[in-house]
Amino acid sequence: MKRLIFNLTFLITFFVVSCDNMLTESPKDLVVEDFYNSTAEVESALAASIDPVRGRMSGWWISTLDCHTVWGAGLAGSANFDSYKSMNGLSSVGASNLIPNWDVFYQSIRNANLVIANVPNSEVLSEEQKTRFLAEARFFRSFAYFQLVRGWGGVPIYTEENMDQTTGAPRATQEEVYNLITNDLEFAENNLPNEPPVLGRPDMWSAKTMLADVYFFQERYSDAATKANEVIQSGKYSLVEVTVPDDFNNLFGMDANSNEEIFYLKYNQQSTSGLVLHTMPIDTPWFGSNGYGIFQWHDGAQFYTEWNDDDFRKQFNWYVADEDKVNPFIGSDPYFPNEGVNKLAPKKYNAPEATSSTFDLPVYRYADVLLIYAEASARAVGSPTAEGLEALNMVHRRAYGHNPTEPSPVDLSLSDYPDTDSFIDRVVKERGYEFQFEGKRWFDLKRSGRVFEVMEEYIGREVAEKHLLWPIPEEEFDLNEAMDPSTGQNPGY
């Protein structure tokens, strides 16, 4: 039998705990049949299932998604990003810049499939170990497919059963992709441990949280609410308390580890994060090195002026920038003027004395679970619930410096929301305040059916229908014989 050899240039000792719980890179040639036997070997292979994604998501993925927001859509003359901001379909440059995202998600899927295919054959691992490793690989595989299906819709499905199919795989429907994701996560939640062995690895609660989110995007609202409530009722997580705006550094700072963290992508000095480069301006006092200057906003923007000045998130996330240290808006857009306003720049991930960015990327934190529950529970029963309102209020109170678990002067009440739609509007807006530069807003607006009205109301931007899904990369059609470019491409491309 021909022996399959591949080169793994990832974190070979990824899950061996060092002084900072992260690992060093070490290239190694691996023979598949010989490699998936011991615990160390499988854990190294699992590292390869998340490392490609980890390297891309804190930079290009987050900046791409947050260009699709009312705070990120001001055109600044950047060919790399302005076609995302225009929301009129992607230019050739914008589409090309998405190809590496597509590639790393499938690289992650390929590496997870290798674990799933080969771990059952190990003669060293116990059945319990095999099951746990399979659950982790299926978590990582579902994570990659969840990003793909929300960005591109239906995509080719590769599993351990067809990963070596040289002719490729046909484009699956969104429903088929979601079925695979759901099956993987249901297996993961039942077989991952109660606690992660190392921060950055998933446990059963990570799987439950992502499963709640997946149900949410499938409009399975009762299931989403039930699963989110399982996480809430576990008592394992709590919101970081905030008494001044800078206390949010206990949640987002480079050294932050908290009870709010459910699943984060982790970084260190050997494997740095792209969050500063991709969110900060070119010249910033809030970090010791510069960003790319992709984002700038202004204090006359409607979303900003509607946002209460007493909300600590507003004060923590943004600062008034010197005019000569941010890019001018281009295109004579009345919603992004250069005169009569103060320019704003992001500082959510800040460390003024640091020069190397090791900020972790929040994928799921407790605030997300609470807000999923708030919205999903209302949608499930057709009206806001007292429990859902309390979940919303917990996030809302914290933002104003109050104890999240106690009544406060800023509490929202059910009488403020006479119908389900008005309550959901409020939750979606709260998510907009809470998750800036965490890559959630664009998908939230699409999921909730509010993308057209929000972009039109707040920035006068007419979102093209074809912009809701990104173009399948041309290379996929070149390499995948099962994909027909005349029928397999997303509408409008």
Amino acid at 386: A
**pLDDT the model gives residue 342:** 97
Place of tokens 């591949």: 6
Inform me whether the pLDDT recorded for 6 exceeds 70. no
Give the C-alpha separation, 131 to 127, whole Å: 6
pLDDT tens, position by position, 460-492: 999 999 999 999 999 999 999 999 999 999 999
Q: Say if residues 54 and 265 touch (Cβ distance below 8 Å).
A: yes
pLDDT tens, position by position, 195-234: 999 989 999 999 999 999 999 999 999 999 999 999 999 9
pLDDT tens, position by position, 361-399: 999 999 999 999 999 999 999 999 999 999 999 999 999
DSSP classification of residue 321:
P
**pLDDT the model gives residue 78:** 82
What's the mean per-residue pLDDT of the chain?
Answer: 92
**pLDDT the model gives residue 345:** 97
Q: What is the model's pTM?
A: 0.93
Q: Between helices 39-56 and 92-118, what is the axis angle to 10°?
A: 170
Beta bridge partners of 346: 318
The helix (H) or strand (E) run that includes residue 255 is none
Residues of the chain with CATH 1.25.40.390: 5-152+171-266+368-488
DSSP classification of residue 323:
G
Return all residues near 127 (Cβ < 8 A) that are at least 6 apart.
Answer: none
Residue 35 pLDDT level (bands cut at 50, 70, 90) = confident
pLDDT tens, position by position, 114-142: 999 999 999 999 999 999 999 999 999 99
Multiple choice CATH, 5-152+171-266+368-488, 2.60.40.10, 1.25.40.390, 1.10.3720.10, 1.10.10.10: 1.25.40.390
Return all residues near 200 (Cβ < 8 A) that are at least 6 apart.
Answer: 21, 22, 264, 265, 266
